Structure 1
Amino acid sequence: MALSTPTIQIVPVLMLFFFAFRYNDLHVFELQEPTRVIEWIGEKSVCVAGYENSKKNEILQLLLPQKLYVKEKQGLCPERDFKVERGGFSDRPVYSLRHVPNTSLLVTSGPPDSSLQVWQLAAEDTDVVKSVSTIPTGNDSKKPWAKIATTLARTPCVLHGSRVNNVQITEIESKKNIYTAASSISDEVSGLEFLDCNTLLACCVKGQLCLADVRQPQSPLGDTSVPSALSGEQWCMGVSSGLQGSDVNAPAIARLSSGGQLTLTDLRNIPKPLKSARCKVSAASQSAEFLCVSWAPVLDGCLAVSGFNGTVHIYDTRNWPVSGGETEPLFSHKGHIFSGMDNGGDFPLVTTHAWHPWKPRMLLSAASDGSLHVWDWAESHKNS
């Protein structure tokens, strides 16, 4: 099987000059086709996948350049490009991709329906990402594509659903349904997460948060409203591992709206938001499907926002104004705008981003022109 290889892109001189003092590291790559998923596979590699409707789409497992995954300080590294470890082809667009922790399994979803595809990262002696099975979700072709989350728990499971009233948990290998949410809410889901092996969280496109405990079969998902002033906007969410300075490891939820509103919520007191602020965006998101907000895993109080244009903004939530007005970003990555300048036409749109698991200020970001950036901004540099 012939697999395309991500290639390093020649960075324009102007771009090098512009970024010279803003970054500790900046790596600019170009994929054969754009991706809207960046999923970590262990500590050394990520998975990306195409999302075009009219063709077969590649699923690639990419080994990061050595410099980006060594934990100790190191001099010159021989590998300075991504390396394709494994790959396969999907007959449908890949809108979501999740790795099942501590296994070789991947689960993907995408249009035209809400079914799930299960893949296996093959053994070391082959480079194939193998299609294993399909998890059907009924015959309703009108269901939107399913949002997904995975967990190992006692057995590999996937949390999936397109609307609140069809959210369920399925054992991946047996395809046995082990939980179905009993809810009358038919709103479309924008994101799903396991908070632990027994608790799940759903975010609706209208902004409501819905919480459920799988130990209570058929338990209804709860519903929390958003301010009426923000109705009509579309929302996504990001879940942190815990609250800074808290005695209880309670996740904090960040919700991002298509108008640029950010709201932080403590799950121990869902009705009352912790903080709220408005991102510094010139206009509402043109394509709400690419909205993305994520917490930094090892940088206290920081989160990243993308999907409005060709930039990724970093915000320090500890410095948000009490008034809840517009807040300035701690840092803005504008590299995708510069890397797309020579292509003509519209500037590329950032489709997704992901934090490095242990390097505090390093992120990966992808855009609609196929560019894939890995960047570590200088700690001393702040910008508007």
Structure 2
Amino acid sequence: MSGTKLAGLAVSVALLLSFWVGTGQAQVGYVRHLSKLRIKDLEGLAMRLQRSINPEKYACESYFDYVCSRNKPLFSIMGHMPQMSELFQLMTDLQNDPEQFEAKQKLLDFFISCNSKHALEDCYRQTFEYFKPLFGYIITKPLLEGSSHELDDFLGVLDRFVRTAKNDFSSHPILAKLSTYKQKFKSPKIYFHAGDLNREYRSLRIYRESYEHNVRNLEQHRKLNSTYELGVQRTMLDWSLYLHQSRNKPMSYYYSTFTVHLYMTLFNSTERQRDFTRFREAVECLKLPQFVNVLDEARMLAVIYLKSFRNAWRDYSSWIVSQPQNQEIYDQENSILQKYHLNNKRLFFTLYAQNFCEFGKDLAEHVFYLGLNQNPDFFNIYSCGFQTENPMNCV
């Protein structure tokens, strides 16, 4: 894989999002039981993971083969396509929404033009990719109606990350930006008003009978005119979509996705400023294979993701024991997951690993999985035996 694609990965996974969603539970006090909705969604997540894991492969020999070689992995970070059932429901909600405006009509006209040329599922996917801000509109609309547990909990995990990271990074500008974005995201709906969406797509021309023209116009719009490709609007959109995608998930989901990539954002900045000689010594200590060493960006990402995984695992482990109710939630979730031969720690490792299936076995094993391969809990959970070498202290 080229250095350019790896560099693109480092940028694309920057400010992703989220946190444990306690729908139907008290915000304060001692939480004693998971809601029925939380239990149902946890069982659904477990069944999907169970179908994606390949039990014929040995996790200790190749974790990539174990989590990536069977069926479609459960991608869990923003940037990947939602499940078709979720897309169908969002499109239905958008179509049935009583507010009528020009941008929504252009979305529907594009969908009609696509369906004359392509299969229905392909048109749902294309419509989502080209009109993401309108999906942000329908997702955030309910957040205006009183207090939202999902939004409050999402902001809570972001706030905890900023507080924890400040102990190591003090006044890093990324932490200041995240604090500012957290304040803005308290009212995400303000970024998806019908009037703003009409202005976003005002210059876009869509024809029901001309799918090819529509695609060209949309590509041109996205490159030259879209206000949701960069800046605060893009962050609000990404966070809104992730908030919807991550509702009712366990904490092991959020720390293995959102927190990892927040740390990646920090280390992507700090590691590139390190003294080259000391960085080279760290890479040599890690004993990276030659094909990684000859590519500067691969070496850099290996260190960035090692440190990001390590810190996210530390924070998750600390969360479990930080309050009695956290330990109780953790134990209750494990009792539910047990019948699927899973637990929260397995969820953490699997969800983290499956986000890199698309980059192939070599890069996954030697760049993104370094933290997994050096984690004592990973070795214990999968019965890999005693680890004689642990180069975690190299970086």
What TM-score comes out, normalization by structure 1 length?
0.23
Larger relative strand fraction: 1
Specify which structure has the bigger relative contact order, considering alpha-carbon pairs within 8 angstroms and separated by 6 or more residues. 2
| Greater fraction of residues in helix | 2
Larger-gyration structure (1/2):
2
Q: What's the TM-score, normalizing by structure 2?
A: 0.22
